[in-house]
Amino acid sequence: MAKLKQIILVFLRLAIGWLFLWGFLDKTWGLGFPTDSAKAWLVGNSPTYGFLKFATYGPLAPYFQNLAGQAWVDWLFMIGLLLIGLALILGIGIRVAGVSGALMMLFMYLSLFPPQDNPAINQHIIYIIILLYLPLTRANYYYGMGQWWENRSLVKKYRWLV
């Protein structure tokens, strides 16, 4: 049973890490899932503009719509997608990645509040739960670089980097 738990934790860590990393790759190069190449970040388009300007709704929509297309928002979003995805896939900095990813998901949830697909919960809440749970399980030790990472002198000095 312990081995099955490890396999499930590895799958959760890799799957959620891939969601973040794929978001970065697709928005950067416009791979067509869902970003078309003409709307890629590398050709000068904003990776946040379309969603923040046209998809947000609810009482917080004006706040998020004002952020649409701002360079600092684009950079923060894209760096977040890349680093959270890589950290989860590699199993390094899983605590920082979990909290950062949960915060990103919370903002996405709030930009679509109240949810239209379910009155109480949606996929963003599920992602938040998973992202906050993974660091508590030491999921980065199973087929990841967690143990190696925790033995780095910087991480030993600054335990929050675990």
Question: Token pair of 154, please?
Answer: 């910087």
Q: Are 94 and 88 in contact (CB under 8 A)?
A: yes
How far is 94 from 82, CA to CA, in rounded Å? 13
Percent of the chain with pLDDT over 90: 87
**For the chain, what is the domain count?**
1
pLDDT band at 58 (very low <50, low <70, confident <90, very high): very high
Residue type at 14? L
Range of the domain at 33: 2-161
Q: Is the pLDDT of residue 78 over 80?
A: yes
Concatenating the DSSP letter of every residue in 12-76 gives HHHHHHHHHHHHHHHHHHT-SSS--GGG-GGGT--TTHHIIIII--STTHHHHHHHTT-HHHHHH
The predicted structure's pLDDT at residue 34: 87
The predicted structure's pLDDT at residue 94: 95
Question: Token pair of 123, please?
Answer: 């996929």
